[in-house]
């Protein structure tokens, strides 16, 4: 039991929150790409991503795992993004600090989604049953390069008023 839910139900809640975080992260990045001011989409992205990390820490603990490591790193990135957004108000260096930390947290959500997809979706699992095969590595490499490019482009394009 986790928060009064079975582990299976809690897992579904965690996955739904994660998918909302990914979807709102895509919208928030698209709005930055367009040069728009940050709005509710960014807020929902940040807080659902925080909730994703928090709920990830609530699963039954069986020792330190890569998932816990990703959750810790994501939490640090999100804390930095919150400081840049609300403390630094995206002024000066805080703009690129926000972009880098928010895009990194978004990347970590997608990274975990890819790991889960290869672990749970039959045809993907067949391509990389241990997660160390070339199809998995290539997919994660493409995702990483895509997020690096996104971060660079957003740093160049996003100039909030």
- In this prediction, residue 39 carries a pLDDT of 81
Say how far apart CA 11 and CA 6 lie, in whole Å.
Answer: 8
Name which of 74, 73, 93, 75 is nearest 84 in CA terms.
Answer: 93
Query: Is residue 47 within 8 Å of residue 13, measured between CB atoms?
Result: no
Quick check: 38 pLDDT over 90?
no
5, β-bridge pairs:
2
The share of the chain scoring above pLDDT 70, in percent, equals: 100
* Neighbouring residues of 135: CB distance < 8 A, sequence distance ≥ 6: 124, 127, 128
pLDDT digits (tens, 9 = 90+) for 96-140: 999 999 999 999 999 999 999 999 999 999 999 999 999 999 999
Cα–Cα distance, 132 to 127 (Å, whole number): 10
For position 40, what pLDDT does the model report?
92
**Distance from C-alpha of 161 to C-alpha of 148, rounded to nearest angstrom:** 24
Nearest partner of 107 among 143, 76, 68, 83, judged by Cα: 143
Helix H or strand E segment including 161 = none
Q: Where are the domains of the chain?
A: 7-157
pLDDT value at residue 67: 93
Q: Is 0.85 surpassed by the pTM of this model?
A: yes
Give residue 143's pLDDT. 98
End-to-end Cα, the chain, rounded Å: 47
Query: pLDDT class for 27, splitting at 50, 70, 90?
Result: very high
Residues across the chain: 161
Cα distances (Å, whole numbers) of residue 66 to 20, 41, 44, 158: 22, 29, 26, 33
Residue 161 has pLDDT above 80, yes or no: no
Cα-flanking dihedrals φ and ψ of residue 2, to 5°? -130, 120
């Amino acid at each position: 039991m986790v928060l009064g839910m079975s582990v299976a139900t809690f897992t579904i809640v965690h996955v739904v929150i994660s998918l909302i975080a990914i979807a709102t992260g895509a919208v928030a990045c698209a709005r930055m790409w367009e040069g728009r001011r940050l709005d509710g989409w960014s807020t929902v992205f940040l807080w659902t991503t925080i909730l994703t990390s928090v709920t990830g820490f609530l699963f039954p603990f069986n020792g330190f795992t890569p998932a816990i490591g990703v959750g810790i790193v994501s939490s640090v990135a999100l804390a930095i993004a919150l400081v840049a957004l609300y403390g630094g108000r995206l002024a000066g260096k805080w703009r690129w600090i926000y972009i880098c930390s928010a895009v990194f947290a978004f990347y970590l959500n997608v990274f975990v989604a890819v790991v889960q997809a290869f672990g749970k979706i039959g045809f993907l699992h067949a391509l990389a049953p241990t997660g160390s095969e070339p199809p998995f590595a290539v997919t994660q490499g493409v995702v990483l390069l895509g997020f690096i490019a996104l971060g660079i482009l957003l740093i160049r394009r996003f100039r909030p008023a």
